[in-house]
Amino acid sequence: MRYKEWFVTAKGSLDVYISDMSVSVELEVEEQTIGGKVVPAVKVLNSYVNLPKDHISLHIHGNVIADFASLFKSLFMGTVRDQITGQVNNALRNAVPPAVNKLIASQKGYSKIYNKMDLDWSISSAPKINA
C-alpha cells in the first residue's frame, strides 16, 4: 500500500486478525424451475454480523508515517470493524443466494450421494412455515 500527499509518502501494509465473529442469516425457501423440474431456491431476508471490537486486532507495518498512524489505530478501529461487517453482510445478502441457487440449478435437480443413489431435489411448491 502506498499513499502520497504533497511531499510525504506513506508506505506500508495492514494486517487484520479476527478471533471471533458470529453470523446470523434468515432465509426464505423459494422455488426455481430447471428443465421443467421445480427445485428449491433461497433468498436472504435478513443477516446480522457481530464482530466485537475486542476480537479484532490491526497491525500496521511500514515506514515512519505508518508507525505514526499505528498510534491512532484505536480511533479508526470502529470504521474498520464497520467495513468488515458491512462487506460480510453484503456478501450474505447479494452473493450467497445466487451462488447457492446456481449450485442447485447446475445439478439439474439431482445430487449423486453414493454409487447408483441420487437425491432428488424436486418440490411440489415452496415450503410454508406457520405457527
Grid cell in block for residue 24 = 446470523
Q: Are 21 and 54 in contact (CB under 8 A)?
A: no
Q: Which of 117, 127, 98 lies closest to 30, judged by CA?
A: 127
Q: Are 30 and 126 in contact (CB under 8 A)?
A: yes
State the Cα–Cα distance between residues 68 and 15, nearest whole angstrom. 16
pTM exceeding the 0.85 threshold for the entire prediction: no
51-107 confidence digits (pLDDT tens): 888 888 877 777 666 666 666 666 667 788 888 899 999 999 999 999 989 888 888
State the Cα–Cα distance between residues 34 and 21, nearest whole angstrom. 36
Find cell 433461497 and name the residue. Answer: 42
Q: Are 10 and 65 in contact (CB under 8 A)?
A: yes
Q: How confident is the model at residue 1 (pLDDT cuts 50, 70, 90)?
A: low
Residues with Cβ within 8 Å of residue 51, at least 6 apart in sequence: 18, 21, 81, 84, 85
pLDDT at 94: 92
